[in-house]
Amino acid sequence: MSDAKQAKRYLVSGMVQGVGFRYFTQAAAEKLHIGGFVRNLRDGRVEVFAVGSPQQLQELRATLERGPRFSSVSEVLEEPAAPDRQYEGDFFINPSD
């Protein structure tokens, strides 16, 4: 399989707001050299848009499923996304939706 960059969108459900989930995700993405963003959604979920190799994205998903210390992740939905050059290098915490 190629190491071509791809983009994924993850929707994380559970007790994932107010527990440092966005900072946890940003630190994990930066460690994995993944670009993208994370933000809280109004419905209580966290949205993660990530650009990286299949291996990097697989590792990020495993990290999202674990979550930070005081979180409780019940589900991580994953869907393909269109790559966005704006997020190829850095990983941001975006304002909540």
**Which listed residue (9, 22, 45, 94) is catalytic?**
22
**Which listed residue (9, 39, 40, 45) is catalytic?**
40
Q: Name the nearest CA neighbour of 56 among 75, 36, 39.
A: 36
Is 22 one of the catalytic residues? Answer: yes
- How many angstroms separate the CA atoms of 21 and 67, rounded? 7
Is 40 one of the catalytic residues? Answer: yes
Task: Work out whether the CA dihedral 11, 35, 53, 30 comes out positive or negative.
Answer: negative
Catalytic residue numbers?
22, 40
